[in-house]
Structure 1
Amino acid sequence: MSKLTQHLQKTFEENTGVPRIYDGGHWYTGQTIMEDTAKICGYLSEARVAPGDRILLSYPNSYSFIITYLAILQYGATVAPINPNMPASELRAFVRRCQPKFGFVGAKHLEILQQEDFSDSLETLFLIDTATASLPTEQYVYDERSDHWEEHPLNPFATAVGNAEPPEEALAILLYTSGTTGNPKAVGLQHRHILATINNIIHSHQLSASDVAYCFLPLFHINAQVIAFLSTCLSGGRVVIAPKFSASKFWSTIEEQNITWVSAVPTIIAILLKATRPRVIPKQLRFIRSASAQLPMLTAKRFEQKLGIPVIESYGMTEAASQICINPLPPGKRVLGSVGLPVGLNLRIVDDQGHPLPANEVGEITIQGDNVIDAYVQADHQNDFQHGWFHTGDLGYQNEEGYVFIVGRKKEMINRGGEKVSPYEVEDTIRELPGVDQVAVIGMPDPLYGEKVCAYIVAEKSVETNGLSEKILEHCRQSLSSYKCPSLVHVVNDIPVGPTGKIQRHRLKQQELATSN
């Protein structure tokens, strides 16, 4: 058995009667978690799941997701989590790409999967309504002879028989990250990768059995899986699950459930900043962690001034099983604008030829460590791995103290007549103006300079948009070098974002290019 599954089993065995997971108004103890996990392992065994088989997991944030996820890891199969609201076309493409043999799904995805011919991959689908049940309620098996999905009764007494104990190198999680171009990258995380990151997180977050994490980010993403859930479990703490972020329920949940730390994203921090300050700030809340996208310095500064809660900016990637860098917790030195110090891995900044750069020089961020994969599962993008280092595609620099600063994605940097422009810098400048709710800066084709800087703005609802573009342009002219100033400022109704609120500049650019053609 891998050390990851050993530690998970041990932490629940040692606290059988202790509440560990909260969902839907109910606390689940270590004993209940072990029993429910064992039942799902029994279903997997009876379905003849083999070690390493890929299993689709399409559940919303819920206790059901947690125990199914744990069972798949313990059984030695590979969990492939997806957005339970993934539209039909994306779901079909995912199944053809991933080739899962089994799946845990809701009614919506069950109907889609049964309508398509996936006979070369899918064999069994388990159905659940997570609103009314914790365990699967129905099982459908594909019959090759009749070319039809047949309902089979679930054995309530099913037990796992002879399932292999996963080795350290067993593939635990398969996730697909969307790049700015080309097919999604297939990231296969082994048990050892995940445990290495968990240990880094427990150390850097100073987690203990007294901690309570608030998990509202989508569990089909690596952040919620490893940062909020698995790391808290292995430290002996408790996890409060919410189906999604709710600004109206945030502070009451923090107080009622004695939440000690929160894993969030910049969008959520911005929403909390704009909301009415709660009458009482719960004293047990140690910090709010920010990841998944660049946190504007102004947002972080105003948030701490208004609420008095430390915002800990960090940096991670799926290829590193989540965390790469994080700022030290108080009383350690935090640097605004920096994603912090590398934790538990090696990081260096290199030029286009792969040569290390000195402090304060911008280059590509490369990493290597026990939590970092050394190849993608599928052949695409393998040139991201060179001479033992993973090339992240992020551009940044380290200062003399080792703090890392990110200036943009390699493919998102704007090349205006040979001058490189970071969209992050321009966006931060625009955010200084009141009335700007969202901003995205991209490079668009220009016949003279190759690319021009274009800004897209979503204004706050109460703001008069007439004259806003000129006001932004004037502010940029006074604050930025001329080549960094936007040529155009568009006020729009919305900007494409991902499930965690991260601005998707590549989608915005695709939309604008399609419109202009």
Structure 2
Amino acid sequence: MREIPAELTERYAAEGWWTGETVGDLLTRGLAAAPDTEFRVHSAVRPWAGTFRDVEAVARRLAGGLRERGVGPGDAVAFQLPNWMEAAAVFWASALLGAAVVPIVHFYGRKEVGYILDAVRPRVFVTAERFGRLEFRPDVCADVPVVGVVGRDFDALLGDEPLTQPLPADPAAPALIAFTSGTTRDPKGVVHSHRTLGHETRQLAASYPPDRGRQLTAAPVGHFIGMVNAFLIPVLDGTPVHLTDVWDPAGALRLMRDLQLHIGGGAPYYVTSLLDHPDFTAEHLRYLRYAGLGGSSVPAAVTTRLAGLGIQVFRAYGSTEHPSITSSRHDAPEPKRLFTDGTALPGVEIRLAEDGEILSRGPDLCLGYTDPALTARAFDEDGWYRTGDLGELDEDGYLTITGRKADLIIRGGENISALEVEEVLLAMPGVAEAAVVAAPDARLGEHAAGFLRMLPGHPLPGLDAMRVHFERAGLARQKWPEELHEVAEFPRTASGKVQKFRLRQDIAVGT
């Protein structure tokens, strides 16, 4: 792990950002305060309904059973589960044991799961026998001492005696190893401590609108933000948990209407897929009061569209490594909310390097990676994290993401921001989503290639129509896409980001 400067450690403790509380302590206190709070899973294959008390009982028996098997502080507990009750039980049990929980996105395949298990060497692995692309493979986890499969032998892990109190653990020790979403080929294991994860939970909870309503969580709990929103913030706030294990816009719209559940945002795709669905009506807008957007690029075309419907939009910026770097308050001036990614959150510092790269540090910044070489490249000795993102700061301290260093197209020596080109493509009639990547060019090295998901009934525009549109937009000609491809659905990460490396692969093989 990286060495955190003593000055930062002292400051975060003095300002109250870091406390002596472990995640197990946070959960114990929150669950005791609101034991009868509703907990429901909306699923076609494994629905469940109960209360915090019911889930806690399973978690404490699981913790007791794992403790009997020698699991405790310093160990790793991995799980690969959909948004099911058992995922909460495993997460809470791990926290009570003082172990580091390792959530794995449920649609990762054998290669990714094997890579993660080999990287962290967990004492425990809990998974499902089958769900969508998830299929239990005993050979993948053959070296894990304790394995449980939900629906088959998970209950055998439960002890007769529940663990009544969280085991003592060092608040500076690892509490979570979260693997990045996969926009790079191999996921990176990001290590968070009890202090960084606890601060992130408190900070994120404080930033949400107080009247946001009963939230539906569709983001996978194997991903950082889905996990925090499902298993930590509701316990801290005493608010109901409603999970769904697949993202189905039609099903989400039914739950919004029938159970008065709200959608609070996330990656723009989650919100726009609701608005574009034929079942969407004006009645649903009452359950879309706010849209906190982040997790991927947030086009201005999307924020202005939502604002035009009366939705209070605000943007946020962060990553698995540094979850909450900037955000606009939900009541900030509209131009700031719609067109910037907000200001630095309490305790967080940001600055721009000479090339525009965003550098950040703060009390929710991770300890580093499971790979020491990655840690050495990403952090400097003063505690600054090199985000790899490019940005601009305005006179009021509001940050706007302008691109990613690895998401630049270099055409004949000219740097082209993929985000800038995507914004123009999104303004074309009938375009639901756009992604731009670098395509090889024999003459210029690279050129821009656009991938479009079209709205129903709208054909892919031709290159001539696209050029007319870009001419009207006034974008320099060297930035115009030189090829367009249509996709029915984009390949995505758990947080909803488009996996651009797969689009580049498609170009390379001519598909």
Aligned in 2, Cα 1:117/1:326: closer, same or farther, shift over 3 Å? Answer: closer
1:91 is the counterpart of 2:84: no
Q: Give the counterpart letter for 2:453 in structure 1.
A: V
Matched, 1:478 2:472: yes
Q: Give the alignment's Cα RMSD to 1 decimal.
A: 2.7
Q: Select the residue among 218, 223, 226 that pairs with 2:225.
A: 223
Other-structure match for 1:245: 247
Tell me: higher relative CO, structure 1 or 2? Use CA pairs within 8 A at least 6 residues apart.
2
**Contact 1:469 1:490 (C-alpha < 8 Å) held by counterparts:** no
Question: Aligned to 2:70, what secondary structure does the other structure show?
Answer: coil
Q: Which runs of 5+ in 2 are unaligned?
A: 1-19
Asked if 1:127 is matched to 2:149, the reply is yes
The within-5 A match list for 1:409-488 is: 409-465=404-460, 468-479=462-473, 480-488=475-483
Please state how far the C-alpha of 1:451 moved relative to its aligned partner.
Answer: 1.9
Q: Deviation per CA, 1:376-413, whole angstroms, max 9, x where unpaired?
A: 22223221101310010001111111111111110111
Task: Give the 5 Å matches for 1:107-506.
Answer: 107-108=129-130, 112-116=136-140, 118-119=142-143, 122-129=144-151, 136-138=154-156, 155=159, 157-160=160-163, 164-177=167-180, 183-207=186-210, 211-259=213-261, 262-276=264-278, 277-281=280-284, 283=286, 286-306=289-309, 308-320=310-322, 322-330=323-331, 332-333=333-334, 334-344=336-346, 345-352=348-355, 363-381=356-374, 382-386=376-380, 387-465=382-460, 468-479=462-473, 480-506=475-501
Structure 1 residue 207: Cα displacement: 4.3
Q: Is the 8 A contact 1:60 1:84 kept in 2?
A: yes
TM-score, normalised by the number of residues in structure 1: 0.85
- Verify: 1:69 aligned to 2:91, yes or no: yes
Contact 2:263 2:288 in 1 (8 A): yes
Task: Note closer, same or farther for the CA distance 1:117–1:284 as it changes in structure 2 (3 Å cut).
Answer: closer
The CA deviation at 1:99 is 1.6
The 8 Å contact of residues 414 and 442 in structure 1, kept in 2 or not, is answered as: yes
**What's the CA shift string for 1:189-245, capped at 9, x where partnerless?**
11111111122112221448x952221111100111123541232122222111122
* Distance in 1 separating the partners of 2:340 and 2:433: 21
Aligned to 1:4: 23
Task: Specify the code of the residue in structure 2 equivalent to 1:301.
Answer: T
C-alpha displacement at 1:79, in angstroms?
1.1
The superposition leaves residues 149-181 of structure 1 with CA deviations (integer Å, 9 ceiling, x where unpaired) of xxxxx65x1334997322211211112225655
1:311 shift after superposition: 2.3
> Would you say the 8 A contact 2:104–2:179 is kept in 1?
no
The 1-side partners of 2:139 and 2:263 are apart by 43
Cα separation, 2, equivalents of 1:390 and 1:60: 31
- Which letter maps to 1:314? A
- Give the alignment's TM-score, normalised by structure 2: 0.86
Q: How far apart are residue 429 of structure 1 and its match? A: 0.3
Q: Separation in 2 of the partners of 1:201 and 1:332?
A: 20
Contact 2:327 2:344 in 1 (8 A): yes
Letter in 2 for 1:49: V
SS at match of 2:339: coil
CA distance 1:181–1:59, change in 2 (3 Å):
closer
Task: Please state if 1:22 is matched with 2:51.
Answer: no
Structure 2 residue 102 is the aligned partner of structure 1 residue 80: yes
Structure 1 gaps, min length 5: 140-153, 353-362
Q: Which residue of 1 aligns with 2:9?
A: none
SS in 1 for 2:220: coil
SS of aligned partner of 1:22: strand
Q: Quick one: distance in 2 between partners of 1:327 and 1:32?
A: 36
Report what 1:105 is aligned to: 127
Counterparts of 2:292 and 2:200, CA distance in 1: 16
Structure 1 residues 291-340: Cα deviation after superposition (integer angstroms, max 9, x where no partner) = 2111221122222323x2212221121012x2222221126554323121
- In the alignment, is the contact (CA less than 8 A) between 1:473 and 1:489 conserved in 2? no
How has the CA–CA distance of structure 1 residues 331 and 94 changed in structure 2, closer, same or farther, with 3 Å as cutoff? closer
Name the counterpart of 2:3: none
Q: Cα–Cα, structure 1 residues 485 and 50, in superposed 2: closer, same or farther, change >3 Å?
A: same
Instruction: Give the secondary-structure state (helix, strand or coil) at the position aligned to 2:436.
Output: strand
Residue 81 (structure 2) pairs with residue 59 (structure 1): yes
User: How has the CA–CA distance of structure 1 residues 2 and 351 changed in structure 2, closer, same or farther, with 3 Å as cutoff?
Assistant: same
Distance 1:380 1:447, change over 3 A: same
Deviation sequence 1:23-68 (CA, Å, 0-9, x none): 2465433332332221111111122113221112111101211121
Closer, same or farther in 2 for the Cα pair 1:298/1:507, shift >3 Å? same
1:142 aligns to what?
none
Question: Residue 418 of structure 1 aligns to which amino acid in structure 2?
Answer: G
How far, CA to CA, are the matches of 1:304 and 1:178 in structure 2? 29
CA separation of 1:248/1:183 partners in 2, compared to 1, >3 Å: closer, same or farther? closer
Q: Measure, in 1, the Cα distance between the counterparts of 2:287 and 2:440.
A: 51
* SS of the residue 2:372 aligns to: coil
1:46-102 CA distance string (max 9 Å, x none): 221132211121111012111211111111111111123322233223222232221
Q: How far apart in 1 are the matches of 2:165 and 2:33? A: 25
**CA contact 2:214–2:240 (8 Å) conserved in 1:** yes
Tell me the distance in 1 between the aligned counterparts of 2:265 and 2:450: 29
The Cα offsets for residues 465-488 of structure 1, whole Å up to 9 and x where unpaired, read as: 4x6232112212332112211222
SS at 1:217 equivalent: coil
Report how many aligned residue pairs link the two structures.
480
Correspondence for 1:355: none
- 368-377 vs 391-400, which moves further: 368-377
Residues 101-131 of structure 1 deviation map (CA, whole Å, 9 limit, x = unaligned):
2111112499754235733xx11111212xx
Q: Is contact 1:426-1:441 (8 Å) kept?
A: yes
